[in-house]
Amino acid sequence: MSKDEVIGFIGLGVMGNSMAGHLQNAGYTLNVYNRTKERAQPLIDKGAKWQDSVANLTANSNIIITIVGFPHDVEEVYLGAEGIIANAEPGSLLIDMTTSKPNLAQQIASDAAARNIASVDAPVSGGDLGAKEARLSIMVGANEDAFERAKPILEIMGKNIVLQGPPGSGQHTKMCNQIAIASLMIGVVEAMEYAKQSGLEPFTVLKSIESGAAGSWSLSNIAPRALKEDFTPGFYIKHFIKDMGIAIESATEMNLDLPGLLLAKKLYDKLAELGYENDGTQALFRLYNQGEQTIA
């Protein structure tokens, strides 16, 4: 770690707070900004420096990491006169860890390169637990030089860091991840509801199936939360709906039909309509448990 490296971190939500904390614990000088300052307070109490705007944070940092909510938030943070690219010094490194649009990641990389700024798209998977335990899977789109510079920083927050290709490739890979999870979540919830309706004890069923061919991270980590009716967000439904929308848009551009993804989005849209958009993705269990599912 270079003493000259100062990290600016933007976006201190369910995952960002833990991720920034790992960087702080690793000894980096940390600047922080979030729309709600209260979320930054635990980091400030430990020595992080609060910056009152994106522009000021950028001007006082040479590595800027973002993990915000939606593509329009990414655009707001990176582009425009008060954005990161306009205010970053040449030679800076930008790492966007938001799940966003591949073509937006490509635009950011192009605009940054024009100012001699390196850019990496590095969306993550692993949820709140992965963020807390610094074992996120990080999918990277960047050129080789930018990746090698970013890798030591990413390794503080994750355990599986893979360069997938040029800018935008990290976002495309995250879409693959979200497509797989979308259909998988339906299977997990339906399996647990089947167990209940057949008179089995679901947690006992999990002991048998989670280590077999049906085993998955979601089955082992998400199903127990759902069965306990703990719908605290490790990953918000509203953000999952956003991700599925991006995947559907990208698939449409490739003339690719993804019926499993379309069904999953339909079910999660139903949850949002019922007022559960701020629950975790395991709240899909509500539709089956309450008899509110509309599969057709």
Instruction: Give me the active site residues, please.
Output: 174
Q: Which residue bears the tokens 């269990």?
A: 285
CB 250 within 8 A of CB 233: no
Residue 64 to residue 85: CA distance in whole angstroms: 10
Question: Taking Cα atoms as reference points, which of 288, 294, 292, 274 lies closest to residue 202?
Answer: 288
User: Which residues are registered as beta bridge partners of 140?
Assistant: 163
Other beta carbons within 10 Å of 291: 7
What distance in Å separates the CA atoms of residue 217 and residue 63, rounded to the nearest whole number? 32
Helix, strand, or coil (residue 120):
strand
Residue 109 is encoded by which pair of tokens?
A: 């990389």
Under 8 Å between Cβ of 171 and 141: yes
Q: What is the rounded CA–CA span in Å between residue 89 and residue 62?
A: 7
User: Phi and psi of 269, rounded to 5°?
Assistant: -60, -40
The DSSP element (H or E) to which 75 belongs, if any, is: helix 71-78
Q: What is the DSSP letter of 225?
A: H
CB count within 10 Å of CB 201 equals 11
CA distance 77 to 68: 9
Q: Can you give the C-alpha Rg of the chain in angstroms?
A: 20
Rounded to an integer, what distance in angstroms lies between the CA atom of residue 109 and that of residue 86? 13
